[in-house]
Chain A
């Protein structure tokens, strides 16, 4: 009996250990917490951004390098007014069977557009941000890609960020 016995279990138990075995040194472990930032305005007035590691990108942009042994440390901007038909997935590290039928299961761009129209959020940043979740050098990831996306999120004057580690 564990402390979590009453909570729903994840479908693939021990994922951290599995990935760390398969890709030694790739997994991040932190022992400190980042102080919470707080919304400066009601959610209904806040500009929301979305950051995804699902490898979703506008059709015709340079595909993510899913075969590079060290990983791809680049990101793509995905206009938040895109339609799913204008987007494609370049990533092989998660099951894309659902996403290929309805992209919203991993990149819920239409649901986010609806929330903005309904006024649940004040609006969306002009772009969302996309990368692939495969980097063998987590220190480089934190030093480069994480900071670059964080700066891009600030530059688009986001008030809040929803993230989805695919």
Chain B
């Protein structure tokens, strides 16, 4: 899919939680996040983290010079979950 769009002349970047699957399909650009499947942009209600992941991907889209490069971002799932819980408590989504 990504390769088909890039071939049309449109630069692409994907977010992946499975580095091995991405290495097999060789998309032009990808950002790997070490998160749970189905949670590529982080945890519920953590807007800043969701935004940060999109911005890191767009940065890679602009900066990449070599096809197939998988960029990383210094985040961990444990940290994202901790921050998410604190945010949910602050906004009354969690007891």
Contact = CB atoms under 8 A, between A and B. Distances in A.
A95 B58 contact: no
A39 interface: yes
Given A30-B3, A36-B67, A150-B4, A166 B37 contact: yes
A7 B7 contact: no
A106 B62 contact: no
A104 B41 contact: yes
B8 A98 contact: no
A34 B67 contact: yes
B38 A34 contact: no
Contact of A43 (B32, B43, B62): B62
Looking at chain B, what size class is its interface with the partner chain?
35 or more
A95 B39 contact: yes
A136 interface: no
Contact of B21 (A16, A105, A112, A153): A16
B12 to A, nearest CB: 4
B95 interface: no
Interface in A73-129: 94-99, 101-102, 104-106, 108, 111-112, 114-115, 120-121
Given A111-B51, A163-B15, A165-B15, 19 more contacts: A8-B32, A11-B36, A11-B37, A13-B20, A27-B21, A30-B25, A34-B6, A37-B10, A37-B11, A94-B38, A98-B36, A104-B41, A104-B50, A159-B10, A161-B2, A161-B5, A162-B14, A162-B61, A165-B18
Interface of B: 1-21, 24-29, 32, 34-45, 47, 50-51, 54-55, 57-58, 61-62, 64-68, 72, 75-77, 93
